[in-house]
Amino acid sequence: MDPLLLARLQFATTTSLHFLFVAVTLGLVTLLVGLQTAWVLTGNPAYERLTRFWGQLYVINYALGIATGIVMEFQFGLNWSGLSRYVGNVFGAPLAIETLVAFFLESTFLGMWIFGWHRLRRGVHLALLWGVALTAYASAFWVMVANSWLQHPVGYELRDGVAHLTDFGALLTNPTLGMAFGHVVSAALLTGGMLMAAVSAWHLLRRTPDFALFRTSLRIGLVTAALAVSLVVGFGFAQFGPVGQAQPTKFAGGAGRDALVAEWTARFGPGDYAPPALADVGLASMIMIGMLLGCVWLLLPLLWRDWIIRLRVPLQITLVTLPLPFAAVLLGWIAREVGRQPWVAYGLLPTGQAVSPVGPGVMLASLIGFTLLLGALAVANGMLFARHAARGAADPPLGRPPAPAAEPVRPMSVLA
């Protein structure tokens, strides 16, 4: 057993599962902000019930997503000590900011929002949710800053064989960052929109008593998904130019590829510097799914006079296509990460030099343990999500009004 292969499998498992939680969290919180803002502005109680229903599902996904993130941090420390030692001075800076944003600001805002129902003024309560959403986007941004540096190292210098940050601004203007961040955010919105539309379609197919509520969330979900898929495709194709220049080997082409490979051969020795075929498979499959999801635009005209509900078949199609955005998210992450191989930091640190000096037995045990733990978290999330989604929006636990205080019992008179 090759410890490097086991470490890479563990990294792929932990990051992929965690990324699915992130996509749902980022997509749903954006829709929640819209729903609660509509409730505060209009006073319509339907928007309050939708906020409570989808907020309950968001909180479930967020809590278990945090747990998967902690597992991912552990595997970083255990398996990739070479990465921390060689580029930690640069790579760690945006991750430290992300940790402060996600684990302190975002969690604080969310906790106050959860326990602030019927205790805070509506405007203050809404502001807390806006804070949750903005810090969630900030967290995703700093993660992409760190990842983009691994894709294209900038703003550093090597001293004593260790990379040191010299230009923090270069991290923020990395050519592989802007379009990639837009692509990730729009993919999360697509995932959240399709999830909202699919859950709503399921309730409408069952002829739920809350017809009006899920009719509204179906429309919101489909419109969001349609707009998001256009952004996904736009940001995705816009990346080919800057990524092709920064990583000439990624797309099997580029004017400077041969010269770059010759430079690497002289510096690191002979080797196969072409990324695995899995990267191309992931990229092609992601593009195909993205184009297929573009057909969601064809469902929007059916919203007129509720034809989408009357025909029922469009609802069934919406429900069946729910796995597609999740598959596209995973395939896109595979294309981005596997396409960087055989480098952890492109052109700077080979993957083989970043792995920890751990024996294959320990690495295998770690892989099995983390996979079982993440699998249990994913199953628990799915079961809780499905259970609360199936209960409908009649009276979600989140934001339930406090029960009226019982009147004190008066002692009976001894003369009665």
Tell me: the pLDDT tens digits for 70-87?
A: 888 888 778 888 888 888
Q: Which amino acid is at 131?
A: G
Q: Which residue has the higher pLDDT, 216 or 411?
A: 216
Tell me: the pLDDT tens digits for 341-378?
A: 899 999 899 998 999 888 889 899 989 998 999 999 99
Degrees, nearest 5: CA angle 362-374-53 = 165
Residue 415: per-residue pLDDT? 44
Residue 416: per-residue pLDDT? 44
- Those residues whose C-beta lies under 8 Å from the C-beta of residue 142, and which sit 6 or more positions away, are 94, 95, 97, 98, 101
The pLDDT confidence band at residue 225, using thresholds 50, 70 and 90, is: very high
What average pLDDT does the segment 250-266 reach?
A: 78
Structure tokens at 356: 């920890």
- Considering the chain, what percentage of its residues have pLDDT values greater than 70? 95
In the predicted structure, residue 20 carries a pLDDT above the cut 90 = yes
Residue 410: per-residue pLDDT? 61
In the predicted structure, residue 413 carries a pLDDT above the cut 60 = no
Q: Any idea which of 38-52, 169-183, 221-235, 397-411 has the lowest mean pLDDT?
A: 397-411
Residue that is written with structure tokens 């492109």 in the block: 346
The pLDDT confidence band at residue 260, using thresholds 50, 70 and 90, is: confident
Tell me: the pLDDT tens digits for 323-333?
A: 999 999 999 99
Against a cut of 0.85, is the pTM above it?
A: yes
Residue 414: per-residue pLDDT? 45
